Structures are given as structure tokens and as C-alpha cells.
Structure 1
Amino acid sequence: MAVVGVHVRTRINVVARANAYSANEIVRIFYEVVSDVGLNVTELAENQPTIETGLRAWLAMRKLEAAYLEVFDPVTQVVRCRTDLNIVYTSEINERHRTDINRVKTATSSLGRYPGCKYRVVVSLADGAPDVGGWDTTTLGSVDHLAQRDVGDVIDTAAVQSRMYVPSDARARVDGRLLAVERAEQEAEEMAKRVRLIQEVQTREAEFMDPDSRSAVRAVHRSLIRLFSDLGPPSASLPRGAEVTQRRGGGGRR
């Protein structure tokens, strides 16, 4: 009977819809990232047709291994944060199209802001992947200096699933600022102690009626002032923030 052919046709339709949905959702997640880190989505929108064409072609051939949204400093080329969407191919029967966009938004909202940075879309492909117009060969920037967070599964279909990872320096930047504030507060407290001590010496000096005793206290007072002058004023400056906005070309392939 021709029942087998019907099942094959149904399965092909399920996979095709899963591939199209997954490609759209990858781009959708990248829009969330670009917006949440304070960059302009215009260039992503201009390159969206090229990006989606490549994603759909490579998903259909099961050659797409991962898609990345890389945010980098255009001067130093240092990667400031990156969104990794790792791809897993499945062959399940029940058709579904789900994206945990709340999980995505929670993760992207904590990435921090990177004004002045640029971004690009990069993919990792398996051997034998075909070339797609508008995509160039490139290499991912290093993220060894970033802390990686496992966001969890974000795209779920019968044929394609994706797990999201976020290498970012947001936590390091926050920690650095907190430490700087703590140091500034400690130094301010130390200066206040110095002032109180000098004031106390001055008060004690005024209480002495004996000229010789008063002269001795003045000598101690002058010594304390010289000591504090040698120590110099405490530093309360915060570390320089890495000011970092929009892309380095349309798509790149790794």
C-alpha cells in the first residue's frame, strides 16, 4: 500500500516547518540580544534575508552546528559578550514549535550595555556545508576571558532543538565596580578617622594651660600632620569602564 509514502511526506513537512521556525527564532533571539545590550538593530534587519537564507539551507542539510551573536570592541577587537545557540537535530513524531522567550529575555537583560561596540552573526558548520551568498569565512573571537553561563533549552521543535549559552563579562564588570565602591568607602572612612584624630589632638592642646605642655602637644600635632601628608590623599576613583555599538559586516561563517 502507499501508506508509507504518506508518512514520509508528512515527516518531510514536519521537518521543513521545524527548520523554517528554528531559523526565524534564532534571528528573533539575536534581535533580543542586540536590543538589550543597547545596540542598533538596523543592520541586523538589513542583513536578515541573507542570514535566514543561510540558516534555513544549513538546517535543512543538518550542517548547522551553532549560531552566534558576537558583540565586540571595534578598536581592540575584544569580544565583550556573545550569545551561543547550539543546535541538536532530532527525529521526533509529535510536531511542536516552542521558544522559551522569557528565559531568553531574562538572560539577555543581564548582559549589560555596550555602547560603542559592534556586532556580527557567525555560524559553525559541519563538513560538507554548501556556500551561501552573502556569507564569508571567518573565525570566532576568543571568549576565554569571559564567564560562560548556561541559559538552557530555548528552541524546541520535532526536528531541531537549541540550547543557549552566554559568555559575558557583565558579572566581572559589576564585581569590579562593587569592589571599587567598597575601596572608596573604606578609604573615605580612613580619612574621616584621620580628621577626627587631628581634631582630638587640637582639642587636647587647648585644654593644657602649661606653656611647655602645650608646646609638646603642638609638636605631636605637627608630626601627625606630616605623617598624613606623606601618606597622601586616598584614591576613590572607580575603574575605567569599557565603553563599548553595531556590527562588523553581515554574516560570517566559521
Structure 2
Amino acid sequence: MTAVNTVNRAYTRAHTAIFTADKLRNLMKSLVIDAGLDPKALMDAWSGWVYNAARKLMESGHLRTIVIEFYKPGSTIASGRWDFPIRYDANGVDDMWVDSTFFKSTFAKAPRPPAGCIYRVILVYDAGAPDVGLYDVSFLSLNGLTRREAGTVIATPDIMASAAYYR
């Protein structure tokens, strides 16, 4: 029986990781569009490396946060930032949901990036994570921006994602 439970947990984690990664892409795309920016770079990065890396790190339980930073080219200071912390302590209920309406309602609370900004996606993961081809990068300076919690935006039986913005 233990082997069946292990297989079921692995199967569930793989499916919830796929669901969470897909829904995070959609939420981040909405965020980028609301900021008045072209989502093409996000979609290219997502299909190029973000999706596979995020999914594999969620499956192993090592992904901690997906970050999107908005900044002026060449700047070391973020004009805006959103964090999507990942938790693995969901309640186990066989329900999966995304609260995109709630998420979009937080856009008005966060400052929009100024004209001429671009953005980048950063994955934050634990030491000992499987190699998914990532390299270390430094966050841009927040220069006085303060973190504000927006709440849970995605829930599955074993993975949850919330959102936080900086203003």
C-alpha cells in the first residue's frame, strides 16, 4: 500500500505542478499586459526555460518563489516587482482553483512601471534542488519599495501560490 501512496503523491505533484505553472504564466501575462508592456518576452521565456524549470522545481518541492522585476534598461533599481511565493502545505482537498479576479483587483494597488521599462523573471529555489540549467542572479535594488501581501491566488491539493507586490 505504501508504494501506491508514493506513486499517487508523485502523480498528484506532477499534475499540480503543471497546473500551477500554467496558471502562474496566465497571471503574470495579465500583470504584464496591465503594466502596458508586451507579454511576448514573458511567453518566449516561459516556453524557452521558465516552464520546465518551474515545473521540475515544484515537483521536487524546491521552488520557493517566482519573481517578476520591472526596470529601466541598464538600471540597478527595480521600478516594480511582484513575488509569487510557492508553498507545499496545501490542505489536501481535491480541488484546484485560481482566483484571477482577486489577483487582477490588486493591480490598482501596485504602482505601474514607468514608460520604457522592461521585465525579467527570476526563480528562487532551495539549495539541493535538481539541476534545471539555471544560474544565480542578483535582485535589483528595491530602493525603498515596500512589500505588500496580496494573498493566495492558486491552490491545489499540495501546492499553493500567493502574490505580493512592492510599492
**Length-normalised TM-score, structure 1:** 0.60
Q: Shift of residue 132 of structure 1?
A: 2.0
Q: Tell me, what secondary structure is at the counterpart of 1:38?
A: coil
Whole-angstrom CA distance in 2 between matches of 1:91 and 1:39: 33
Q: Per-residue displacement from partner, 1:149-170 (whole Å, max 9, x unpaired)?
A: 21011111111112211012xx
Per the alignment, residue 213 of structure 1 pairs with: none
Preserved contact between residue 36 and residue 109 of structure 1 (Cα < 8 Å): no
Which whole-Å CA distance do the structure 2 matches of 1:105 and 1:167 have between them?
15
1:125-140 map, 5 Å: 125-133=125-133, 135-140=134-139
Residue of 22, 45, 48 corresponding to 1:47: 45
Distance 1:107 1:66 in 2: 19
The answer to whether structure 1 residue 21 and structure 2 residue 19 are counterparts is yes
**Unpaired segments of 5 or more residues in structure 2?**
none
After TM superposition, list the pairs within 5 Å mapping 1:1-254 onto structure 2: 3-49=1-47, 50-90=49-89, 92-111=91-110, 112-133=112-133, 135-168=134-167
Is the 1:19–1:159 contact (alpha carbons within 8 Å) kept by the matching residues of 2? no
Report % sequence identity.
Answer: 22
| Aligned-partner SS, 1:90 | coil
CA contact (8 A) 2:90 2:156 kept: no
Give the Cα–Cα distance (whole angstroms) in 1 for the partners of residues 44 and 146 of structure 2: 31
* Residue aligned with 2:106, SS: helix
- Measured after TM superposition, the shift of residue 91 of structure 1 is 6.1
Give the whole-Å Cα distance in 2 for the aligned partners of 1:46 and 1:123: 16
Larger % of strand: which?
A: 2
Question: 1:147-201 CA deviation, whole Å, 9 max, x = no partner?
Answer: 3221011111111112211012xxxxxxxxxxxxxxxxxxxxxxxxxxxxxxxxx
Report the alpha carbon displacement of residue 44 of structure 1 after superposing the two structures with TM. Answer: 1.1
Q: 1:47/1:28 Cα in 2 relative to 1: closer, same or farther (>3 Å)?
A: same
Residues matched between the structures, number: 165
Q: How far off its partner does 1:120 sit?
A: 0.3
Secondary structure, in 3 states, of the residue corresponding to 2:75?
Answer: coil
State whether residues 68 and 122 of structure 1, in contact with CA within 8 Å, keep that contact through their aligned partners in structure 2: yes
Distance, in Å, in 2 between the alignment partners of 1:91 and 1:81 is 29
Q: CA deviation at 1:92?
A: 4.3
The structure whose Rg is larger is: 1
- How far apart are the structure 2 equivalents of 1:150 and 1:144? 18
Residue 103 of structure 1 contacts residue 154 of structure 1 at CA under 8 Å; is this kept in 2?
Answer: yes
Structure 2 letter corresponding to 1:55? A
Instruction: Pick closer, same or farther for the CA change 1:61–1:105 going to 2, 3 Å.
Output: same
